[in-house]
Structure 1
Amino acid sequence: MDKSLELLFCFEEQPDWSQTELSQRLGLHKTIVHRILRTFCRHGVLVRSPVNKRYHLGLRVWELGNLVNQHQEFLEHARQVMARLAEDSGESVFLNSVVGFEGLVVLVQEGPQAVKVTYSAGRRVPLYAGASGKVLLSTFSAEQLQDFFTSVQLKPFTPATITDAETLRQDLERIRTQGYAYSIGELDEGVAALAVKLDTAAYPGTVGLSIGGPAFRFAGRVSELLRLLQAAAHALDHVK
């Protein structure tokens, strides 16, 4: 794999290469280089010119580059939507996705209040504790959920963490039915969160949007915060 990537990165240096040039550049036997080139050509990553027999990047790389650009455009739009939501709600806002059997904090927009919830982008979070994780877990199929429960130990983070599989299954079904997740103190004591999943094709995988803050500020405001959160999610769902 390393050698294959090194070969691909050679095309940053110049637009086309012969097999012999790549072999010399990488210090690899021609047989190995030929095998790598054949694989890349089969998948459209590289193309061999029928005229001069040299290799250049194929349309598959262009397609992947377009996907990256689309994802970046979505994230830029998400930052703007999240900034407005944080201002309107007064709480911190998070964009989260699924990585294996964990949640990943993709983007963070801190709230304007002095006392607030702060997680760093790139942080991994459990899918079974807290609204942001459970709204993502609720999208799992029956087979995926079975794999999840087989692989993940439901250890408690606080006294409010759900550690019983059947209770968690019931909670996930309730989240699917109502279309959002709400939690108090499941991952961090004294912290409340609301979360909804996004229905967008502009970002890969399963994505959710959540609001988090001190539980005392959520009291009596859940309906208001949910309305703001759903409006923000609707705006992101329509990003192309």
Structure 2
Amino acid sequence: MMMLKTLDNAIQVLNCFTAQKKAWGVRELARELNISHTAVNRIVKTYERNGFLTQDAETKKYQLGLKFIEFSQIIRERMSITEDILPIMEKIAEKTKESIFLTWKENNDGVTLAIAESEERIKFSVSIGTRTPLYVGASCKVIMAFLPEEEQLVIIDQGLTRYTEKTTTDKIALLNELKEIKERKWCYTHGEYTDQVFGLAVPLFNKHQQVIASITAAGPQYRLTHKSKGDMLDIIKEGAQEIQQIIYNFF
């Protein structure tokens, strides 16, 4: 527990460095986080030795170090994939008349990486970077369905938050639902994360056939009929095959 507390403190220190506050003194950080000066000093010195922080010789304040440039390059390379995928998503959005989302697995969440918005006046919108638990909503559930069961159980045992009346919060019911999604290779939900909104999603895999993302159409529930759902699913699957080939080149 002590090691976890130390790690949590170390992460909190990094989170203090923002565009609004780029430099911090040790005592400032200690006051801001209500952590002892000694503990903060140990943390920043460790970061400094490893290139994550640098200390200004005059002010003695710390700033983010060059190590983060390496990390940002890795992120940029991953994000560059969206430049290739976005035209395909826009084509899917044009055909389905609904917003299309690329959701990426990050730990136990799905993160919205790219969006092709519907041109309809009434549409479902989220922001890039939106983070959602993997157990709720089509874009995330279709990812969770293809994870190993032991990983699914870890996510479930961390707790299932009810977002709407239709959110599945029963462990057994969720596991059964995930099995069904995996068998049919797509996921449909409505009103589960946001009331009156449907999601229709298919998974995306890396070259090792590990699930890493999903492509999803989402919009107001009233606009979807049984026939339009089937047609939409065909369009998404077709687009997903194109996207899948791009992902294989990166992952």
Identity of aligned residues (%): 24
Aligned partner of 1:143 among 150, 163, 166: 150
CA-CA distance at 1:74 after TM superposition: 2.0
Name the CA shift for 1:100/1:149 in 2 (closer, same or farther; >3 Å).
same
Aligned partner of 1:84 among 71, 76, 91: 91
Aligned partner of 1:225 among 209, 232, 240: 232
Equivalent runs, 1:26-41 vs 2, <5 Å: none
CA-CA distance at 1:107 after TM superposition: 0.9
CA-CA distance at 1:180 after TM superposition: 0.2
Q: Which residue of 2 aligns with 1:2?
A: 47
Paired residues of 2:105 and 2:143 also in contact (CA < 8 A)? yes
Which letter does structure 1 place at the counterpart of 2:107?
Answer: G
Specify the SS of the correspondent of 1:5.
Answer: coil
Tell me the alpha carbon deviations over residues 169-213 of structure 1, each in whole angstroms, 9 at most, x when there is no partner.
0100000000000001101110011011112349x9711110000
Question: Does residue 158 of the first structure (1) align with residue 164 of the second (2)?
Answer: yes
Q: How many corresponding residue pairs?
A: 187
Equivalent runs, 1:1-240 vs 2, <5 Å: 2-3=47-48, 4-5=50-51, 71-151=78-158, 153-201=159-207, 206-220=212-226, 221-239=228-246, 240=249
CA-CA distance at 1:69 after TM superposition: 6.7
Paired residues of 2:110 and 2:140 also in contact (CA < 8 A)? yes
State the alpha-carbon separation in 2 of the partners of residues 159 and 216 from structure 1: 18
- Judge which range, 142-151 or 119-128, deviates more: 142-151
Which letter does structure 2 place at the counterpart of 1:199?
Answer: F
Structure 1 residues not aligned, in runs of 5+: 10-24, 28-39, 41-60
Paired residues of 2:143 and 2:211 also in contact (CA < 8 A)? no
State the alpha-carbon separation in 2 of the partners of residues 115 and 68 from structure 1: 33
State the alpha-carbon separation in 1 of the partners of residues 229 and 222 from structure 2: 11
Which letter does structure 2 place at the counterpart of 1:219?
Answer: T
Paired residues of 2:139 and 2:200 also in contact (CA < 8 A)? yes
TM-score in terms of structure 2 length: 0.68
Structure 2 residues not aligned, in runs of 5+: 1-45, 58-66
CA-CA distance at 1:5 after TM superposition: 2.2
Name the CA shift for 1:88/1:135 in 2 (closer, same or farther; >3 Å).
same
Which letter does structure 2 place at the counterpart of 1:2?
Answer: Y
Tell me the alpha carbon deviations over residues 92-129 of structure 1, each in whole angstroms, 9 at most, x when there is no partner.
01000122221111111111100000000001112112
Q: Which residue of 2 aligns with 1:57?
A: none
Please identify the structure whose Cα radius of gyration is greater.
1
RMSD: 2.6
State the alpha-carbon separation in 2 of the partners of residues 201 and 237 from structure 1: 9
